[in-house]
Structure 1
Amino acid sequence: MKKAIHFGAGNIGRGFIGALLNEASYEVTFADLNQTVIDQLNTQKQYKVVTAEPTPQASLIKPVAGLNSGSQITEVEDLIGEATFLTTAIGAGILPLIAPAIAKAITKRVQHSREPLYVIACENQISATDILRDAILAAVDAETKVKIKEHVHFCNSAVDRIVPAQPEGLGLDVMVEAYYEWVVESKTALPEITGMTVVPDLAPFIERKLFTVNTGHAVTAYLGYAKGYATIDQTLEDKAIYEQVEATLGETGGYLIKRYGLDATEHAAYIKKIIHRFENPLLADGVDRVGRSPLRKLGAADRLVRPAVEAGKLGLPHENLAKAIVAALKFDDASDDEAVKLQKMLKEEGLDYVLTTVCGLTQTDALYKEVVSFY
């Protein structure tokens, strides 16, 4: 079989990207630091992906294997030398940390092989693969850079599949929603992967996804947490919250429609479809899980601040996005390290410090003033 290496053996890696690669006849090896999961992969050599729907569909993913990316560096390098695909689902902030090891492996590879390698970071961030590419190129010499640019294809992507906290006792098996979307940007042909859509320009797709799915999910979580709801589907049973989520996505939609010329009727239907996905009671997705890492989600380039700022630049309203930012600021889940840090910052440094340092706003911004007013 053809080979692929995927960094991140978590639920998204196993339940989405790794599964699609395997179903396309790739032997997938997961690189991760979790030795327990690595041992399970090497012992069982397979797992199931089960859809969360009234009549669940189960797919058997095999053969699979695991490597510890910390202690089996040589084996990881060897596999990168043979693989067709190198993918990740580890969090965009981790990409620069794995880049040196990947750079070393790719350096060896391009010395003796002209076989193309396709590198795709499957993260919830715009241009995530570019982050990985730049960190890899920074770690190699000029001659190697030339060879990498000839034989290694770095493709940005947008990924969309809800993988909730898993029920007890599943082991390697993963429960996922039936819906998924994987859009990859490339101006040249890629090996065909069923379920992967290749487009020449990713920007409209990734922003539509991030500022509808990720924004909507986060807003629902923060509003639900504020009212004491446990799960996303329970939260959306509250009519007032449902309407506020819909209004917030109306604001992000206004930006997307004006920025990319999207069809307004089609996008309104897309918003309805996304919210309906959140309502799936079989996912039972916790507001604490969806809301976690508020510092990252309040970042200037992320799902709450970025669409509000961009809407403002186009003269569009962002009142509901400002309210969503306030709800995120008030997320004080003691089990989440970032939430604890955020509340400490607010208490010790103040709101202005958080809005300027975390959110990248200035006191003269209209969004800044709205957030302060609602807060």
Structure 2
Amino acid sequence: MDKTITEASIITTAVGPNVLRIIARGIASGISSRRKAGVTSELNIIACENLTGASSLLREEVTKHLKEDADKEYLDKCVGFPNCAVDRIVPPFSKDGNPLAVGVENFYEWIVEEPAIKGKKPEIPGMKLTDNLTAFVQRKLFTLNCGHAITAYLGFLKGFRTVDEALSDPWIEDIVHKAMLESGAALCKKHSFNEEEHEKYINKIQKRFRNPYIKDDVVRVGREPIRKVTPGDRLVGPLNMAREFGLGYSHLAKGIAAAFLYENKEDKQSGELRAKVEQKGIREAVKEVTSLQDDEVVGEIVKSYEELEGLKRANL
């Protein structure tokens, strides 16, 4: 790996947010070798993960493994960690028994933080540069990832296996669409997105979810529910933004409630979340995990939880 990093001009990751700290040691070693080899050209490392500020997080983890001051100075001078927003659905895929086979949808979007790039701007087909990455990160996270997660949690409650199957249910489709409209109204207020264009963006996303050739399991999309109901992530993040502007959030609240009902024995966070609900009750569990303290909004989530809990029992 050290030789590869020494010779590289750009590195990207797509390993999952929780794996960044694991690969950081190897990247740090490569950066040290690059400095010792006398390479003075810039290197940019872009973490293409479903996490706000993933590249910044990777930089922090890499820095922990740089023991020499010279390596840290070299990183500051020659290594950029631009954050990005990446949008492409990559569902489970199999071809001829090859475990390395990857299947993706046709749609893609890759927006990179231009001011954080070191040296000459790379010219890569499909890469779009912006000086306002936060707006695009939140647009994707609070729309696509938000709708995806709510579809998965409601689909799981009703016994559907895949996202496209779940959206064939009019009840689920209605909640998901209205939740994305709620988040969209907040995003348009926050970042001055064109309302008509954003609604087209929402409709395009739902069309992508319905793609019959993308068999995306609800258990994959719904995995790690605790992470997905933390304050800045895809469910609580748009709800807080809607509240900031005095906008409606009832369907987003229903999506959060559904996450607390997600029960998958193979998912560690699912077990931890269910344990919190059983030990502390749903109200206190919501307050602890989401950091929401306002009685009105917590009450809305609890009310939705109790309604959905009846649905869950009916489908057992």
TM-score (norm 2): 0.89
Taking the aligned partners of 1:356 and 1:88, their CA distance within structure 2 comes to 33
**Partner-residue secondary structure (3-state), 2:103:** strand
Deviation (angstroms), 1:353: 3.9
Contact 2:243 2:249 in 1 (8 A): yes
Taking the aligned partners of 1:283 and 1:218, their CA distance within structure 2 comes to 16
Where does residue 26 of structure 1 map in the other structure?
A: none
Taking the aligned partners of 1:366 and 1:131, their CA distance within structure 2 comes to 34
Where does residue 106 of structure 1 map in the other structure?
A: 31
Deviation (angstroms), 1:328: 0.9
More strand by share: 1
The runs of 5 or more residues in structure 2 that have no matched partner are 306-316
- Aligned sequence identity (%): 39
Q: Deviations over 1:13-49 (max 9, x none)?
A: xxxxxxxxxxxxxxxxxxxxxxxxxxxxxxxxxxxxx
Where does residue 308 of structure 2 map in the other structure?
A: none
Taking the aligned partners of 1:162 and 1:233, their CA distance within structure 2 comes to 13
Q: How does 1:354-373 map to 2 (within 5 A)?
A: 354-362=285-293, 364-373=294-303
**Partner-residue secondary structure (3-state), 2:85:** strand
Contact 2:59 2:81 in 1 (8 A): yes
The amino acid of 2:33's aligned partner reads K
Give the alignment's Cα RMSD to 1 decimal. 1.7
Q: 1:122 aligns with which of 7, 23, 48?
A: 48
Contact 1:183 1:202 in 2 (8 A): yes
Contact 2:94 2:102 in 1 (8 A): no
Contact 2:114 2:130 in 1 (8 A): yes
For the pair 1:90 / 2:15, whether they are aligned, the reply is: yes
For the pair 1:175 / 2:103, whether they are aligned, the reply is: yes
More helix by share: 2
**Partner-residue secondary structure (3-state), 1:358:** helix
Q: 1:239 aligns with which of 170, 174, 178?
A: 170
Q: Deviations over 1:183-206 (max 9, x none)?
A: 111125422111111212211111
Q: Deviations over 1:253-298 (max 9, x none)?
A: 0111000000000000000000000000111212122112111111
**Partner-residue secondary structure (3-state), 2:290:** coil
Deviation (angstroms), 1:139: 3.5
Q: How does 1:15-54 map to 2 (within 5 A)?
A: none
Taking the aligned partners of 1:238 and 1:104, their CA distance within structure 2 comes to 51
For the pair 1:195 / 2:126, whether they are aligned, the reply is: yes
Contact 1:308 1:367 in 2 (8 A): no
The amino acid of 2:159's aligned partner reads G
Structure 1 range deviating more: 181-190 or 191-200: 181-190
Q: Deviations over 1:318-372 (max 9, x none)?
A: 111111001111111233232222222211233244223321222x353222112
Taking the aligned partners of 1:250 and 1:182, their CA distance within structure 2 comes to 23
Deviation (angstroms), 1:176: 1.1
Deviation (angstroms), 1:94: 2.4
For the pair 1:374 / 2:299, whether they are aligned, the reply is: no
Taking the aligned partners of 1:238 and 1:326, their CA distance within structure 2 comes to 19
Deviation (angstroms), 1:299: 1.6
